[in-house]
Each structure stands twice: as C-alpha cells, then as structure tokens.
Structure 1
Amino acid sequence: MKSPIIKLRQLALAAGFVLLTGATAFAQDAVQGKKIFEGNCAACHSMDADVVGPALKDVHERRGDEWLHKFISNSQELIQSGDADAVAVYEKFNKMPMPAFGSSLTEDDISHVIAYIKEASAAAPAVAEEPAATTTAEAAAPAAVQEVAFMDLPPIVHFIYGLVGLIILLIIVVLFTLFRLIVPMMGDSLKDEEFQTTFSGRVYALLSGDATVMTGKAKDVIHSTHDFDGIQEYDNDLPPWWKYLFYVTIVFAVGYMLHYHVFRTGALQIEEYETEMAQAALITAQNVEDPNAVTNFEVLTDAAALESGKALYIQNCAACHGQAGEGTVGPNLTDEYWLHGGDVNDIFKTVKFGVPSKGMVPWQGKLTKDQMLEVSSYILSLQGSNPPNAKEAQGEKE
C-alpha cells in the first residue's frame, strides 16, 4: 500500500505536468493566432487604436469568447439577429461590413486569434502617444502668424495709436474751425460765378450740398433735328464724375503700357503664372506628404517585384479586396472601373494616403515607397483576370 506522501507527490507532479502542457498549448495557440491575425485582421484592426474597425485590447473581457467567435465567423448575421453590441459596433464604424471568416477560418483558427488577442492585450502597455517628429519641410516652413488681442499689445503701441488718433482729430477740428471762420468772411463773393468755377469754389459747393459739381447742370437745349415721335434729345454735357473717371483710365492706361510693355518692369500674366507654378512645385517637392504632389512612377513588370507585390497584397489587402482581387468589403480590382483612378500613380496615392471616409486605411508608415509601388503594380496585373464571385463594377471606366 502506497503511503499518502507518495500519492501527494504523484498528484503534484501530474498537476504540474497539466499546467505546463496547458500553458504551452495556449502559447502555441497565440503564436498561430498571431499569424492568422496578421494575414486577415491587421489591415483593419490594431490593439490600441481604432482603424477601420475598433481597437481590440481587452475586447475578450468586454464581449466574451463566445460573442467573438460569432462576430468573427459572420458579423452581419449577428447584426441582423439584433445583437445590441454588434449593432453598436456596426453603427459606430460607418456601417463598414466586416468580412465573414466562417468560410475561410476554422473554429480552431478563430480560437487561436482570440488567444493571440488575449496575449497581446496583456502585453500591450498603455503608452502615452509620442509627439510626431518634425519633418524637414515643417522645420523650413515659416512659423504661423499668431493673432494677438489689441489689449495684449505693449503699452507703447497703445500710446502710439492714441497719439495718431489725437492728431487726426485735431486736424479735423482745425479744418472745420477754419471753414466756419473763413466762409462768413467771404460773404457774397462765394456766389460769384468766377469763384464757383475755381477748384476752391467747387469744393465749397460740394460741402454746401450742391451736387451739380459732380452731376453737371442740365441745359434743357434740344437738338434741332433730334425729335422723333415726341422723343426729344437734349444737348447736355456728360456728368463731370464720368469724365473724371474717364481721364483717370487714360492716365492709368498710359502708365500700364509704359510699365508692362515699354520698360518691361512688370511681369505679364503668363510670366506670373509660370512663376507661381514654379513656386508651387518647390513647395510640393518639400512636402512629400501632399496628396496632390505630382508623381511619375512607372508600372513594375519584372516577376520578382510582382511576386513581392502579391505577397504584400495577400497579407494586407486580401481581407477587404479578396484573395484574387474580386472585391468583398472593398471594390473589385480586376475590372476596368476605378473609384480613384486606375493609373499606377493614382493607385499608389490611394494605397499611400487611403480613403478614410470609405474605410480604406493609409499605408504610409506601414509600407515603404517601393512596397507600395509593388502592390500597385500587382493590382494592375490583375486586370481582366475575371475571378469567380467578382463584385459588381464601381466608379468610372478607365
């Protein structure tokens, strides 16, 4: 008969073996789950931040394993069943349907993914967001002008403003006083026709409310032969204000001609346009993150580049566009229709900057320029492949 001590030792050894093998199995599940996650989920999900879909850190604690199994297998089925959590996620993320993985992943695969989420959630610390590094273009750009309230200006500025205002007020008061003193002294001479034809007389008449200085006087003289069916034409002068403006345009035209066409001291419209375009090109060249920057990439056709593009596509794009580019959540990439342009440069920009409003994430920072060009070239190589279950055409025909 075995002693109780031996039984306890055997029991402890068995329990340790079970725990050890269980931990190994869980770790193995998480390793396998990481591969599945990176191949199918990483394009739309992150542990710590919302991307196309929600952040997944501790989602198993909020929803539970059973709910996650159902949602990953067929999210639309769970939404249509009226599940409140599924509907809330669907509404929050712009009603972007998550692909149903029930047909492409086994129950064990989904369990592996959940195991990876648990492990990644436990390992992901809450790290404060680091400030973005300042680019060379940002460093070279002039600092933005900050608006300062008038009351926050230095006292000397307030004093100068007050002094200028006081001087202007004194000038107005002096002119008004002189006008009030001089006008009565001139008496009836102000009404003399000779005085009224002078510049001072016209200014006085204008200040006195006599608008004829600007509008002119009607002579009421009818042209001798300009009377038709009772319609008469008077021989009145043009309004002085019109003639003054006409004289100004003549002076301006002469100055314009001398400045632009004789002395050539000013830039004509074509030269101004070319200068502005050159300045815009310099600014665009400095700002590599400008979606409007002109690119001149050529489609890659060598087998190695296309094979690399295919691998990147399968890993990052297939979850939304299908393994063969047939389109699932995202559009079909094998037909002649494009939502954002079908040239390799258009596709490159769509991959780089994304279309956040439609759920397309930007891949800059995750893929290099060469990798994005390889993916773009591979996508173009899918043209006309006619895969089964292709999604209907969207966009404009190229």
Structure 2
Amino acid sequence: MISVKKILGKSSLALVAGLLLIGTPAVQAQDAVAGKAIFEGNCTACHSIDADVVGPALKDAHKRRGEEWLVKFIKNSQELVQAGDKDAVALFEKFNKVPMPAFGTSLSDDDIKNVIAFIQQESEKPAAVAEAPATAATDSTATAATAETQDVAFMDLPPVLHFTFALAAIIILLMVLVVVLMFRLFIPMMGDTIYEEEFRNSFAGRVYFLLRGDATLVTGKDKNEIHSHHDFDGIQEYDNDLPPWWKMMFYVSIVFAVGYMLHYHVFKTGSLQAEEYEMEMEQAALIAAATPDDPNAVTDYKPLTDATALESGKKIFSTNCAACHGPEGQGTVGPNLTDEYWLHGGDVNEVFKTVKYGVPAKGMVPWQGKLTKDQILEVSSYILSLKGSNPANAKEPQGEKE
C-alpha cells in the first residue's frame, strides 16, 4: 500500500508546482501570443512598436501610461479626450486630431490586456543591430569615394596651366602700365590745352578727368539751359542730356532685344520658357521612371471581378483597413467607401495609387512596403465592389461625386 505521507508529499509538490506555473512567464507568453493576433488584426494599420505611424510608437507604452489608462483609452479614446484627460488630449493634438477607433464593443478587457502584454513583450526585446558585411562596407565606401568630386589645389595643376595664368597676368599688367605711361608722358606735354573744351569733351579727356575725380564721363554735363520759357508754378525745365551710362545701357538693351528676337522667334534656334519647361518635365519623368516606385507612372489596371480575388481583397481589407474605414467600408476615422463620392478619385487606378502611396497628411499610411502589387489591386477591386452596399451608420459623403 502507498502510505498517506507519500500521497500528501506528492500532492504538495504538485500544488506548489502549479502555483509556480501560474506566476511564470509561460502564461504571460500565452497572453502575448493572443495579444499579437489581436494587435495584427486591429492595430497594425495605425501603430508600430518602434515608430510613429498614424498613431504613436507603442514601445514602453505600459510604462508611460499604465495598464488601467491604456484599457480606457483603447476602449474609447474620445471619451478621455472629451473628459479633458491631459495625456489623451496631448496625443490627439500631436497626431493631427485623427480619432482612434473605439474598441469597447469589439474587444473585451482581457483582449486589451493581452494586447498590452504583447506590447510589453515586444518592448523588452533587445534592439537588433544590423551588421553589414565588411566587403559591402568597403564597396560602399569605394563607391562614395569615386562619386565624390575631388578638389584640386592650384599648385597641383599642370605646369602648362600655371604658365598660361602667369602669361595672362603679365599681359594685363603690361597693358595697365602702357596706359599709365601714356597718360604720364603725353598729358603734361599738352600743357593748359587739357582744360580746353575740345579736349575735355573727347574720350581721352573724359577718361583723364574721370581719373582725377571728374565724373562727367559717367554722368554727362549739365547744360543749365532752360528747355522752354513756360513757367509751371515756378518750376522750370532744363535741357540736359541723359547720363551716358543710361544711354549706353539703353542702346545695349536694343541690340540685345534684336538678337533675342532673331534667336528665339525668327531662326528658332533657342527654346522658349514653355518649351524648356516641357523638356525638363520629360527629363524628370524619364529619371523617375527608372525607379520601381514612380508615383507619376500611368497605370491601366482593370478592376478584378472574380470571386477568388474579391475574397482575398476582403480579407486584406478586414485585416488592414477596417480599423479606419469600418468592417463594411462605412467609414469611421477614414471616409465612407460605399458611396459615390471620392477624395482622391474613384477609378481603380486612382484607388490603387491611394492605397499604395497613402495620404500621410490625412493619416493614411502607404501600403507599398506591406502589400504586394497584386494584393493592392485585389483590395482596390474589393473597395470598388462595396459601392452602393448602403451599410448601417454610414459616414456622410466626402469629396467629389464620380
């Protein structure tokens, strides 16, 4: 027979082991697993653990707010905002006043606590450090060094260029010296004749007196002759020439205008602004088209109509879009997708582009890094299939009628 003592001993051990298991991370891990499924089904469209998306990054949210506050906020964030909760109002203002969907009717308190357990588990994971291979780093460094423009010091230029610069400087210096010597030799020989009107009005005389501080060459000379004998309230008009610099610029502008007209409008050897703009836009389009994600690329997709594609689109919609547009597309945070009104176009190609690139200014994230092209086309086709379904509690129309 088995003694009572042995039975009690084994029972006690089993009881202690059970109590220990209740407090071990295994149960918490199970909660986190359930929380992960709930998080991926309801939260990933607007939240990430490490980065701000539509809503804030959730890493260490349980430390910043506490479980009780998080449960209330997830159940109905707008109740806290309207009640004047400081933290709730701050989040609402920071993230462009985009209201978070209320999950009080779709998730129980235990579901929300499971999500918080998942957030805690993800927050406690060590940050992954991506180590690039040494060869890749070497290659990237070499590429950057090759692409970078190298500055060459003047003393490192070829001797031929040094000789050319020196020769040009000597020639300019000799020309200046010749002009100065000519003035110093010939002006004194002229004696007082340099003050005669004939010499002063000559180009050489104007240059000479300009060097002595007389600006007549630039400003012209006042005649101080009354233009007419009319008296306008004591105001008289003098017959003075325009400044020579002004007349010279006027003559140059006439010559330039004639050359401009011949170049652009007669011989058509130059491109006007409109043509230059078109050429630059074409070049930009060619550059953008070389990348796989050109937002300006023209697409000609047709809506998918087969049941398999629409069912796949429905699953994608329920997983990623229902949190903001409602499970039936009736609109909650995002617009109603079942009416005839569209904010960014209702053609399948326009819907495809909106889903792919998002509308960050309105809080919609781009899905091009999370969904494949086929998946985006499937969910876009499913969205178009919702037109006219008239779900209950549909949001008011927004945008233009298609």
Partners of 2:220 and 2:241 within 8 A in 1: no
2:70 counterpart SS class:
helix
Alpha-carbon separation, structure 2, partners of 1:172 and 1:338: 75
Alpha-carbon separation, structure 2, partners of 1:356 and 1:96: 12
Residue 335 of structure 1: how far off its partner (Å) = 3.5
Partner of 2:39: 37
Structure 1, unaligned stretches of length 5 or more? Answer: none
Residue 41 of structure 1: how far off its partner (Å) = 0.9
1:215-239 per-residue CA deviation (whole Å, 9 max, x = no partner) reads 466484869xx98999999987776
Partner of 1:378: 382
Structure 2, unaligned stretches of length 5 or more? Answer: 138-142, 157-161
Residue 69 of structure 1: how far off its partner (Å) = 2.6
Match for residue 307 of structure 1 among 289, 295, 311: 311
1:182-236 per-residue CA deviation (whole Å, 9 max, x = no partner) reads 544433222334434433233335554243765466484869xx98999999987
Cα separation, partners in 2 of 1:154 and 1:27, compared to 1, 3 Å: same
Alpha-carbon separation, structure 2, partners of 1:167 and 1:56: 72
Match for residue 364 of structure 2 among 350, 353, 360: 360
For residues 1-398 of structure 1, the aligned pairs below 5 Å read 2-16=3-17, 28-122=30-124, 124-128=125-129, 156=155, 183-207=187-211, 208-211=213-216, 215=220, 218=223, 220=225, 240-241=244-245, 243-256=247-260, 259-260=263-264, 265-269=269-273, 271-289=275-293, 291=295, 293-303=296-306, 304-398=308-402
Residue 45 of structure 1: how far off its partner (Å) = 1.7
Cα separation, partners in 2 of 1:18 and 1:338, compared to 1, 3 Å: same
Partners of 2:313 and 2:379 within 8 A in 1: yes
Residue 311 of structure 1: how far off its partner (Å) = 1.9
Residue 315 of structure 1: how far off its partner (Å) = 0.8
Residue 358 of structure 1: how far off its partner (Å) = 3.1
Percentage of matched positions with identical amino acids: 61
Partners of 1:45 and 1:54 within 8 A in 2: yes
Partners of 2:305 and 2:381 within 8 A in 1: no
Alpha-carbon separation, structure 1, partners of 2:81 and 2:266: 76
Letter in 1 for 2:216: A
TM-score (norm 2): 0.72
Cα separation, partners in 2 of 1:89 and 1:8, compared to 1, 3 Å: farther
Alpha-carbon separation, structure 1, partners of 2:82 and 2:271: 66
1:146-175 per-residue CA deviation (whole Å, 9 max, x = no partner) reads 9x9xxxx95849xx9xx99x9899789956
Letter in 2 for 1:211: T
2:298 counterpart SS class:
coil
Partners of 2:351 and 2:380 within 8 A in 1: yes
Letter in 2 for 1:353: Y
Partners of 1:216 and 1:238 within 8 A in 2: no
Alpha-carbon separation, structure 1, partners of 2:237 and 2:100: 81
Letter in 2 for 1:301: L
1:28-83 per-residue CA deviation (whole Å, 9 max, x = no partner) reads 54443322221111111222333222333343455444333322222222344454
1:334 counterpart SS class:
coil
Letter in 2 for 1:248: V
1:68-121 per-residue CA deviation (whole Å, 9 max, x = no partner) reads 332222222234445454444444434432211111223343344334334444
Partners of 1:216 and 1:240 within 8 A in 2: no
Cα separation, partners in 2 of 1:117 and 1:326, compared to 1, 3 Å: same
Report the number of matched residues.
381
RMSD between aligned residues: 4.6
Letter in 1 for 2:103: F
Cα separation, partners in 2 of 1:295 and 1:262, compared to 1, 3 Å: closer
Residue 282 of structure 1: how far off its partner (Å) = 1.2
Alpha-carbon separation, structure 1, partners of 2:395 and 2:12: 59
Partner of 2:140: none
2:248 counterpart SS class:
helix
